[in-house]
């Protein structure tokens, strides 16, 4: 970066204040330039505003020596990669911040000053891109994200965790099956849970961008969805709560509440018929919020897709046979039935 540009950036910083009003004007421009960027900011912008202010202070501090920011900017790039930010989005950020700077500085924002800030952001973005590329490589090599986690990878994760069980099981839907997926065992290993939920989170983000739908809150039905729900909340940076059965019906307890109009993602571990998901939807609707989709590690509905009326985003669609209680095959009739689910747990 030319020394003259560095001096101009430093000089301009003496004439501006990065406060709440400045940040508000920036976000208005940012979302006007690219409305779909709003999808990446779940819920209130307050927490994002604090992060933006902190980041801008870091940028400002590097005006004297941009090289000193390289490590911090690499980490910031990796963070934004995890939030599904694409490198091409930086052009929208730069345009919005330059327009905000022009309004803030007025006549002091000369053509030479504009070029200086363009040079500065070019360097900042290059370091952030480095961090994004490194994070993508890490995911490809070790976290097995969306690009490498195929159906066989996912099935192997369940097998390695001892979570794909064989026998005679009564599912929470009331159907009987020779196979049961015990996601609680998968989530015992935090790194395995991270791998699976990171891959599912990427699919959720792709769905959000494709549909233009935002998500404000995650609600996970207890018990099976709780751990998956909180890890998905961590991956997506979205507040998470869970609903639990009170006298047989899902309700929000423990101080959890939804605001009217909030967009909710229901997160499950496994969906068999969609019955529990739709019961969770009813709980959400009773609070005046709107459930917009369901996400689950496994979609094992097969021909049992009788209840779910929302889009289902899943890692794996697994067609495992299920049977009504009065239509069991001989091999299941001879085995004692085990009921591992939590539907009938009482308060």
pLDDT digits (tens, 9 = 90+) for 57-78: 766 666 567 777 888 889 888 8
As a CATH number, domain 3-143 is: 1.10.490.10
Span 308-328, average pLDDT: 87
pTM, whole model, 2 decimals? 0.58
- Residue 36: half-sphere exposure toward Cβ, Cα within 13 Å: 13
Domain range summary for the chain, segments of one domain joined by +: 3-143, 151-333
What whole-number distance in Å separates Cα of residue 11 and Cα of residue 268?
53
Query: 239: which strand partners?
Result: 217
Helices assigned H by DSSP within 174-316: 183-186, 190-211, 226-236, 275-286
Q: What is the per-residue pLDDT for 173?
A: 72
Q: Which CATH class is domain 151-333?
A: alpha beta
Q: What is the pLDDT of residue 242?
A: 95
For residue 121, the tally of other CB atoms under 10 A from its CB is: 19
Does the pLDDT of residue 143 top 60, yes or no? no
Structure tokens at 187: 């989530």
**From CA 241, how far away is CA 238, in angstroms rounded?**
10
- Residue 140 banded pLDDT, cuts 50, 70, 90: low
Q: Distance between alpha carbon 303 and the CA centroid of its chain, in Å?
A: 29
Residue 20 pLDDT class (50, 70, 90 cuts): confident
258-267 burial by CB neighbour count: b if 16+ within 10 A, else e? beeebbbbbb
The better pLDDT of the pair 177, 218 is held by: 218
The mean per-residue pLDDT over the stretch 253-279 comes to: 90
- Quick one: average pLDDT of 218-225? 90
Closest alpha carbon to 174 in 306, 334, 286, 316: 306
Confidence bin at 2 (pLDDT 50/70/90): confident
- pLDDT at position 301 is 80
């Amino acid at each position: 970066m030319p020394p003259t540009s560095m001096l101009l950036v430093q000089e301009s910083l003496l004439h501006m204040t990065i406060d709440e009003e400045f940040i508000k004007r920036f976000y208005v421009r940012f979302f006007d330039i690219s409305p779909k960027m709003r999808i990446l900011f779940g819920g209130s912008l307050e927490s994002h505003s604090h992060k933006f202010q902190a980041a801008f202070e870091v940028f400002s501090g590097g005006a004297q020596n941009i090289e000193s920011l390289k490590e911090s900017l690499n980490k910031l790039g990796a963070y934004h990669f995890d939030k599904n930010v694409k490198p091409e989005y930086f052009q929208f950020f730069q345009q919005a911040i330059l327009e905000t700077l022009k309004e803030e500085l007025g006549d002091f924002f000369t053509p030479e000053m504009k070029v200086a800030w363009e040079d500065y952001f070019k360097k900042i973005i290059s370091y952030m891109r480095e961090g994004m590329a490194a994070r993508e490589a890490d995911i490809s090599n070790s976290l097995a994200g969306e690009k490498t986690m195929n159906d066989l990878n996912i099935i192997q994760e369940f097998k390695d965790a001892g979570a794909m069980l064989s026998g005679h099981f009564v599912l929470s839907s009331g159907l009987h099956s020779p196979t049961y997926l015990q996601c609680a065992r998968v989530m015992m290993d935090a790194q395995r849970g991270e791998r699976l939920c990171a891959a599912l989170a990427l699919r959720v983000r792709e769905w959000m961008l494709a549909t233009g739908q935002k998500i404000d809150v995650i609600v996970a039905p207890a018990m099976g969805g709780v751990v998956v729900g909180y890890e998905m909340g961590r991956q997506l940076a979205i507040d998470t709560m869970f609903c639990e059965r009170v006298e047989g019906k899902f309700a929000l307890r423990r101080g959890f509440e939804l605001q009217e109009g909030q967009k909710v993602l229901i997160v499950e571990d496994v969906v068999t018929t969609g019955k529990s998901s739709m019961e969770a939807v009813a709980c959400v609707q009773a609070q005046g919020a709107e459930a917009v989709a369901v996400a689950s590690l496994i979609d094992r509905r097969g021909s049992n897709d009788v209840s779910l009326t929302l889009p289902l985003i899943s890692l794996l669609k697994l067609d495992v046979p299920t049977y009504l209680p009065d239509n069991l095959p001989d091999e299941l009739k001879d085995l004692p039935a085990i009921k591992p689910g939590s539907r009938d747990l009482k308060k």
